[in-house]
A = this chain, B = another copy of it.
Amino acid sequence: MEMNKKGILTVVSGFSGAGKGTLMKELLKKYDGYMLSISATTRKPREGEVDGREYFFKQTEEFEKMIQDGQFIEYANYVGNYYGTPKAYVDEQLAKGKDVILEIEIQGALKVKERFPDTLLLFVTPPAADELERRLAGRGTEDEKTIRNRLCRAYEEAEGVEEYDYLLINDKLEECVDMMHNIIQSEHYRTSRNIELIKNIREELKCFSEGE
């Protein structure tokens, strides 16, 4: 008798500048058993991008057909291009026991959790807002106005954070990677994910106590 071996879908959100990308990359480098979800998109492939690796590249018509057929966990449209998470790919990985990591923004994440309550929501934040400003400025690609706009949006984003399951403060990267791993692995032991196992143990005990 064993724990439920099914993978867990983890949605990662966080302030831009919180270091989500690096965190996820390091998690996959350091630990086995994780997969990044691959998005479908209608935007054209860039040089070096491979279908099924960076994205599943789709024609608009095909993408809209998939929307109608309910084939996306979530999707959105940015500047005329569709981006979405195909359910089939994620389900396949979860069934194999892979823990699938999906990075989307907060509103999308809350919708995913609503449709799939088993989803684990992680919110990544830098230790403090001034650190966030420092990191955004440190990229050197954005002027002050853009940074202020980002922080303003961050404030609005933080609106739904209370509904996330865990908060990850990305202060020291290595520690944060380990903690992300521990959180996801601990979740496998949640009682609510192992109802079948509990039922089995009770059934066995029942036989014993009835003297079979």
Interfacial residues, chain A to chain B (CB-CB below 8 A): 1-3, 123, 125, 127-130, 132-133, 148, 151-152, 154-155, 158, 161-169, 179, 182-183, 185-187, 189-191, 194-195, 197-198, 201-202, 204-209, 211
Contact = CB atoms under 8 A, between A and B. Distances in A.
A182 B183 CA distance: 7
A151 B205 contact: yes
A205 B158 contact: yes
B209 A148 contact: yes
A127 B191 contact: no
Contacts of A166: 186, 189-191
B182 A165 contact: no
Contacts of A154: 205, 209
B129 A167 contact: no
B186 A155 contact: no
Contacts of A152: 205, 208-209
A123 B191 CA distance: 9
Nearest to A194: B167
Nearest to A157: B205
A31 B151 CA distance: 39
Contacts of A162: 191, 195, 198
A130 B167 CA distance: 40
Nearest to A211: B148
Contacts of A165: 190-191
A202 B157 CA distance: 9
B129 A201 contact: yes
